[in-house]
């Protein structure tokens, strides 16, 4: 049975969005149910694809190709390999959990869920695209709805954050677009197909010139320091599900595109610039962690924590080694889930306490034990504690960096220590200690919220204790990529 599984995964949300737009404004339950079904289909599809992928065979699987714009050399070409497949799975998990966590949202839900689903189609598309035009369409499709999602349903300084985020990300992607156009024309093949372009041997000078705008352009979304400033404001301002998606998945989109387009197509350029870029990633890790430590708003903590953890991703990529890249991919998956849990937890707390200021919280474990446990699990993963997927990821990245740039590894360890410090500190301050008077009567976690949290935690713990299924897939993808760029 040759189901176009990737197209199903990709288009289910947009079909859901169109149905939702056709529903009357006041049919809240129908709207949310449609969103849940659409995201569930994608989620199920991505889980199926993940376990159906034959990692012994490797390569691109579930490939589909269709003519689209022959005049430009563009085709609808999708497929997954060992690197993009975990990210597809990640997206499926996060969008489904995100929809569940957003169930109580009653302000203009029709537009909210429509925008959310539209955004997620773009995200799925970016991960599975094997045609650069398609990749760009999906990439920008995932950026624009953010403006409305943050601007309408957001909180702190939402308009400022929304505009900053949108413009910043679009400048990055526009530069990458310019680079891609030049590369496509320079190849002389008249195509935008990723696999075709990968076979072209661009000259080293050309590669060096073109790698930088493409890699940096995409990695703006990956939160590369110092182009990360859109991120904390954006995460804080965004509504919960949007933060989950954004920090959890969209930032991975940036790092992934930087890898897939920048490194894969222009490896000589990569080899020239990455030794410098890795310094920036070390700053990401340490700076992000340190600033996170100093925050009072829990969402800012997680926002900066994301900047810090995304540093590991680009760091692993910059090592251009098997273990480093494997760690980077694992980190993309692991951090994605982890940050999804964090934002979900914070959202649930905020909904009940109406404050995100850490000094004002405390003792919530008595009222929200579920949320506390989820938060702790995510926290342990964030610290790199063995038994959780974060350990598998960070350990590999650091091993990879140690072999190539030992100084960077040592610097990053500072980040690890600071991370442990703020995670422990804030977990204690929010969930333990005395419970404030006004929080005595907050409602407990609802069933849907529990399901969402449990779902995400299962993957963090599952792949932490049994990383092999995930690692097998990732190793295949990484070794193929490295072989291709030799």
Partner 1 sequence: MLGDTTQNLALILWQLSPELILLLTGLIILLVDAIRPHQADQGWSPYAALAGLVVALVACITLLGQPPATVLAVLTLDGLALVAKILALVSVGMVALFSGPYMQEHSRHQGAFYALLIFATLAITLVAGASNLVLIFLAVDFLSITSYILTGYLREDRRSSEAAIKYFLYGAALSAMMLYGMSLLFGLTGATDLHAIAAQLGAGTTEHVTVLLAMLFVMAGLGFKVAAVPFHQWAPDAYEGAPTPVTAFLSLGPKVAGFAVLARFLLFALPQFQVDWTTLLLSLSAMTMTGGNLIAIWQKNIKRLLAYSSIAQAGYLMIGLVAVSGGGLASLLFYLAVYLFANLGAFAVVLAMSRGELGEQIEDYAGLSQRSPGLALAMLLFLLSLAGIPPLAGFVGKVNLFVAAVNEGLIWLVVVGVLNSVISLYYYLQVVRQIYLLPPTSEEPVSIPRPITTTLLIATAGVLVLGIYPSLLLPLIETAVQAFFGG
The tokens for 324 are 């480093």
What is the Cα–Cα distance from 164 to 109, expressed in whole angstroms? Answer: 24
Q: How far is the CB of 177 from partner 1 (least distance, A)?
A: 6
Binding footprint of partner 1, residue count (CB under 8 A): 34
What is the Cα–Cα distance from 159 to 66, expressed in whole angstroms? Answer: 40
Decide if 405 contacts 478 (C-beta within 8 A): no
Q: How far is the CB of 299 from partner 1 (least distance, A)?
A: 20
For 352, 387, 393, 429, 435, the CA distances from 440, given in Å and listed in that order, are 11, 34, 39, 17, 7
Burial bucket for residue 203 (CB in 10 Å: 0-12, 13-18, 19+)? exposed
Return the range that interacts with partner 1 (CB under 8 A); candidates 64-72, 258-266, 384-392, 400-408.
64-72
Span 133-192, contacts to partner 1 by CB under 8 A:
133, 136-137, 140-141, 144, 147-148, 151-152, 159, 162-163, 166-167, 170-171, 174-175, 177-178, 181-182, 184-186
**Nearer Cβ to partner 1, position 68 or 432?**
68
**Nearer Cβ to partner 1, position 21 or 435?**
21
Residue 208 as a binder of partner 1 (CB under 8 A): the answer is no
Residue 68 as a binder of partner 1 (CB under 8 A): the answer is yes
Q: How far is the CB of 263 from partner 1 (least distance, A)?
A: 22
Q: How far is the CB of 264 from partner 1 (least distance, A)?
A: 21
From the list 163, 157, 290, 142, the residue with the least C-alpha distance to 218 is 142
**Nearer Cβ to partner 1, position 68 or 293?**
68
Residue 211 as a binder of partner 1 (CB under 8 A): the answer is no
Span 375-404, contacts to partner 1 by CB under 8 A:
none
DSSP bridge partners of 297:
357
Q: How far is the CB of 171 from partner 1 (least distance, A)?
A: 5
11: number of Cβ within 10 Å: 17
Q: Contact with partner 1 (CB under 8 A): which of 22, 52, 66, 69? A: 69
**Nearer Cβ to partner 1, position 25 or 54?**
25
Q: How far is the CB of 193 from partner 1 (least distance, A)?
A: 15
Residue 71 as a binder of partner 1 (CB under 8 A): the answer is yes
**Nearer Cβ to partner 1, position 114 or 398?**
114
Q: How far is the CB of 154 from partner 1 (least distance, A)?
A: 9
Residues that bind partner 1 (CB under 8 A): 25, 68-72, 108, 111, 133, 136-137, 140-141, 144, 147-148, 151-152, 159, 162-163, 166-167, 170-171, 174-175, 177-178, 181-182, 184-186
């Amino acid at each position: 049975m040759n189901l176009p599984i990737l197209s199903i995964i990709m288009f289910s949300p947009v079909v859901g969005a169109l149905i939702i737009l056709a529903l009357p404004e006041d049919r809240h339950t129908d709207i949310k149910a449609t969103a849940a079904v659409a995201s569930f289909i994608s989620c199920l599809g991505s889980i199926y694809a993940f376990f159906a992928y034959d990692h012994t065979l490797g390569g691109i699987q579930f490939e589909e190709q269709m003519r689209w714009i022959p005049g430009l050399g563009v085709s609808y070409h999708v497929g997954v390999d060992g690197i993009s497949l975990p990210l597809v799975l990640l997206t499926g998990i996060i969008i489904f959990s995100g929809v569940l966590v957003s169930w109580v949202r009653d302000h203009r839900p029709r537009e909210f869920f429509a925008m959310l689903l539209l955004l997620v189609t773009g995200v799925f598309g970016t991960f599975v695209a094997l045609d650069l035009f398609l990749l760009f369409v999906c990439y920008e499709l995932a950026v624009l709805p953010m403006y409305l999602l943050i601007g309408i349903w957001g909180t702190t300084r939402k308009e400022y954050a929304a505009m900053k985020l949108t413009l910043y990300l679009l400048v990055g992607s526009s530069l990458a677009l310019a680079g891609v156009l030049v590369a496509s024309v320079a190849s002389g093949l008249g195509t935008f197909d990723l696999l075709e372009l990968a076979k072209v041997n661009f000259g080293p000078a050309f590669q060096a010139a073109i790698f930088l705008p493409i890699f940096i352009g995409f990695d703006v979304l990956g939160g590369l320091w110092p182009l990360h400033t859109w991120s904390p404001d954006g995460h804080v301002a965004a509504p919960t599900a949007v933060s989950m998606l954004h920090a959890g998945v969209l930032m991975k989109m940036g790092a992934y595109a930087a890898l897939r387009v920048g490194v894969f197509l222009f490896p000589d350029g990569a080899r020239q610039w990455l030794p410098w870029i890795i310094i920036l990633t070390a700053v990401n890790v340490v700076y992000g962690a340190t600033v996170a430590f100093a925050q009072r708003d829990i969402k800012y903590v997680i926002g900066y924590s994301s900047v810090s953890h995304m540093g590991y991703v680009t760091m692993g990529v910059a090592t251009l080694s098997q273990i480093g890249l494997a760690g980077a991919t694992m980190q993309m998956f692991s951090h994605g889930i982890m940050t999804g849990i964090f934002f979900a937890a914070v959202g649930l707390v905020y909904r009940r306490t109406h404050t995100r200021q850490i000094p004002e919280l405390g003792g919530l474990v008595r009222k929200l034990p579920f949320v506390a446990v989820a938060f702790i699990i995510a926290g342990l993963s964030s610290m790199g504690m063995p038994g959780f997927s974060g350990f598998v990821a960070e350990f590999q990245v650091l091993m990879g960096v140690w072999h190539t740039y030992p100084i960077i590894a040592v610097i990053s360890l500072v980040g690890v220590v600071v991370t442990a410090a703020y995670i422990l500190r804030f977990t204690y301050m929010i969930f333990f200690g005395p419970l404030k008077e006004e929080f005595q009567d907050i409602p407990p976690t609802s069933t849907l919220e529990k399901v969402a949290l449990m779902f995400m935690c299962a993957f963090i713990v599952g792949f932490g204790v049994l990383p092999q299924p995930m690692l097998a897939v990732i190793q295949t993808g990484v070794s193929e990529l490295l072989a291709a760029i030799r």
